[in-house]
Amino acid sequence: MKPKSPPGLLLPGSEELQKFHEQRIAMLEGMSGPVIALPTRYPDGYFVPRHRHSRAQLLCASQGVVLVTTDAGRWMIPSDHAMWIPAGVEHSVEILGEVFMRSIYICVDAVSGVPDYLHVVGLTDLMRCVPHNGCNDAGQHAGTG
């Protein structure tokens, strides 16, 4: 199931925004395989409502700045950095500037020794290649951009 892109910039709390992200999460949860990589381009000011998924997420911002908020705190992810979000952690995402994000979703059973805490990491040259080459056309464009 491939959710439609929302028609333009949607504000926090809007029904269309919530529906878009519910469809996106349902699509992700329905995909098979131990690792899934999805690219998404977000316009400045975009807001991803509070959500969680069954897979851990490595959220990589190759352009722009991303703010992630959880019950444990708030993190800023500048370009060429990534944030590790353990499976099941509720989080929302705010977009500052146009952001091209590549997320890698990993089944918790697929890899041993993954962190169980939130943290931001700098991307090495090798790590920059992995999300770039792992993403395919399954990604979505959120809003206009």
What is the tens place of the pLDDT at every residue in 38-65? 888 888 888 888 999 999 999 998 888 9
Query: What residues have CB less than 8 Å from 59, skipping those under 6 apart?
Result: 66, 68, 77, 82, 83, 85, 93, 101, 103
Domain 15-141 has CATH 2.60.120.10: yes
Of 8 and 67, the one with more pLDDT: 67
Q: What is the pLDDT at residue 34? A: 92
Domain residue ranges in the chain: 15-141
* Residue 82: C-alpha distances to residues 18, 26, 88, 103, 128 (Å): 24, 23, 18, 9, 10
Q: What is the pLDDT at residue 41? A: 83
CA distance between the termini of the chain: 22
Of 4, 8, 3, 47, nearest to 145 by C-alpha is 8
CA separation for the pair 21, 12 (Å, rounded): 12
Q: What is the pLDDT at residue 135? A: 47
CA separation for the pair 58, 102 (Å, rounded): 8
Q: What is the pLDDT at residue 3? A: 37
pTM: 0.77
Residue whose entry in the numeric block shows the structure tokens 């090798």? 126
Q: What is the pLDDT at residue 13? A: 54
Determine contact, residues 55/108, Cβ cutoff 8 Å: yes
Model confidence pLDDT, tens digit, residues 76-135: 999 889 999 999 999 999 999 888 888 999 998 888 888 999 999 998 777 666 544 444
